[in-house]
Amino acid sequence: MKIFPAIDIKDGNCVRLVKGDYATAHKVAEDPLVTARSFEEAGAEWIHMVDLDGAKDAALVNKEIFVRVANETGLKVEVGGGIRTMEAVEEYLSHGISRVILGSAAVKNPAFAKEAVAKYGDRIAIGIDARGGMVAAEGWLDTSDVYFVDLAKEMEKIGVKTIIFTDISRDGTLSGPNLDQLREINSAVSCDIIASGGVSGLADIVTLRDEGLYGAIAGKAIYTGDLNVREAIAEGEKLRDLSRYFAKSELIPAIVQEASTGEVLMLAYMNEESLRLTLETGRTWFWSRSRGELWNKGETSGHYQRIVSVSGDCDDDTLLIRVEQTGAACHTGHHSCFFQPIGFKPFRG
């Protein structure tokens, strides 16, 4: 999991807000470039930067600061705040910014978001900021009637690869991420999800990593000293702990379900290695009990299964794998392996 140290800029200063309230802005560092260099020295690859003035005024107010960080450090810079036009996107991307984040524009002008994604691909990320589950815009000053997962699905349809999700009620509070909402959005779309808001320390980094999130943004916890950037990066790079699913047996059953219809396609078995491969590649891998080896579903037939979500049951000893199935799931050519009815007359009492 990637760690994104955050620098928010207001009036040219490094600040943090509480729950997106501009009135709570307080300075947390003296110089944005010096701060960014300290993150780079700690091993950061990316830095997450936000133009708070720009978000409110729909303009690139603090552009020079972001461009300077991009050009005078080795960091990849992603920037959000006030980006409402293709000209603004191009202005940033042509001056060294690695990725721009569209927030309000994704809600109010989806055609613009679609055009930007079509032209620049993964250099465009979508920021989905929610208050009570509903998407907020205009520097979080307005709340829409759009549910955050619905927007994520619409963005996935237009080709978005990266979504930054923020629960505004957690932002700047050190109260921990909203795991329920993060799980909901992470299982609903195939996009890489970057968690933002509420990270309080290393334990939250471990939790987000083990939830299978692509990345985590940390701001206030770094500035208060509750989170060490170097330690967070090291923890994020570790493999997630899957051992609890194999505490009872080296093999556990995996039920494979068509995500779009709910149809059960097949039952197979996984060991820890095949589960890890499944999570890392986004396609199903299983353990063949008869051959004693790993196998990748679709490797010979081309009938791959693209992962939509992976869930464990209440006892941590069975998996439910929701997929998009290419072709037939069964080796017989049937879409599902469960095609042979057993005669049964329902009891009517």
Active site residues: 8, 129
* Surface-to-core class of residue 262, CB atoms within 10 Å of its CB (0-12 exposed, 13-18 middle, 19+ buried): exposed
Determine the Cα–Cα distance for residues 78 and 95; give it in Å rounded to an integer: 12
Residue 54, both tokens: 């720009």
Determine the Cα–Cα distance for residues 281 and 298; give it in Å rounded to an integer: 13
HSE at residue 310, side-chain half, CA atoms within 13 A, is: 28
Report the candidate in 36, 31, 89, 32 with the shortest Cα–Cα distance to residue 60. 89
Determine the Cα–Cα distance for residues 336 and 109; give it in Å rounded to an integer: 41
Rounded to 5 degrees, φ, ψ at 156 are: -60, -40
Which residue is associated with the tokens 């997106």? 20
> Which helix (H) or strand (E) is 205 found in, with range?
helix 202-210
Residue 194, both tokens: 């970057």
Determine the Cα–Cα distance for residues 29 and 20; give it in Å rounded to an integer: 18
Asked whether 115 and 152 are in contact (CB, 8 A), the reply is: no
HSE at residue 272, side-chain half, CA atoms within 13 A, is: 12
Which residue is associated with the tokens 């927030």? 103
Residue 79, both tokens: 């920037």
